[in-house]
Amino acid sequence: MTYTLPANIADRPITIVGGGTLGRRIALMLSLQGAEVRVFDTSLAVARSAVEYVATQRHRAVNELGGSQAVRLAAQDNLTTALRDAWLVVEAVPEKLGLKQALFADLDHLAAPDAVLASNSSSFAASEFIGGVSHPERVLNMHFYMPPAVRSVELMSSGHTDPRIIDLLMAELPKYALTPHVVRKESTGFIFNRIWAAIKRESLLVVAEGVAEPKDVDALFADVFKSEITPFRFMDEVGLDVVLDIENHYCEVAGVENKSAPMLQEYIDNGWLGVKSGRGFYNDYS
């Protein structure tokens, strides 16, 4: 069967699968045009919390970025209901390959035949989790950073993605105040994250080896690069559990040992996950 691009997208919902830190921020951006946005999570409480976040933050985002004041949000813990007639589905679940493989097989079966199935994964290429997908031509990576503050989005083909989907998203995403960039060749970490991974890895190592404290690394980084974003503050925002998953995957692909894993695991075992738990490398989050 030949894949047909989604039609009447202005009148159809968008579904975000995963209501965590990034899922809710993606939902916020994709709500700017007033389309119905559904947030699915296996925990209805998490989905409702994500919808509440969008509802409370949306007015400011519309004022700053433009868009419709109308808002239609729904929290779902039933995947079939959440996917019904959606033209775009964005996966934002934890960086676990088996989880993504199972989920995309379900999405392929349950979503509308013309729905675009996008993964927000920053460390797994879509080619790694389309084994159970009957129509891989509609699957791709659509990687967000930390919107609405960072609005760049990377689009990367699975190697089977219909090129018209890339063209469609390049045209549609700017309507949501997003700036899309095409990753020209499959790459673990895509564009920016390959560069960031090197900075992050060395930052973790100089602390794990006792060369510096996180605050020293951040202070130097801020001074030299005149940047408000610094390595350890940023890792605290992402979540140290997520950082560990990503680092483990990068090291596995490269065939090297993750030497910072014991330090990260100690933080995680203590419940110090970063901003979301109130403490990470820093303990001044209220």
* Dihedral sign computed on CA atoms, order 177, 44, 101, 252: positive
- pLDDT for residue 253: 86
The overall average pLDDT reported for the chain is 95
How do the domains of the chain map onto residue ranges?
9-182, 192-277
Per-residue pLDDT at 114 exceeds 80: yes
In the chain, the amino acid numbered 187 is: S
The string of pLDDT tens digits covering residues 134-186 is: 999 999 999 999 999 999 999 999 999 999 999 999 999 999 999 999 999 99
Per-residue pLDDT at 85 exceeds 70: yes
- pLDDT for residue 254: 87
Report d(CA 124, CA 140) in Å as an integer.
Answer: 11
Report d(CA 121, CA 204) in Å as an integer.
Answer: 22
Residue that is written with structure tokens 């239609």 in the block: 72
Per-residue pLDDT at 11 exceeds 90: yes
**The domain 9-182: what is its CATH number?**
3.40.50.720
Give yes or no on whether 9-182 and 192-277 have one common fold. Answer: no
Architecture of domain 192-277: Orthogonal Bundle (1.10)
The string of pLDDT tens digits covering residues 57-82 is: 999 999 999 999 888 999 999 999 99
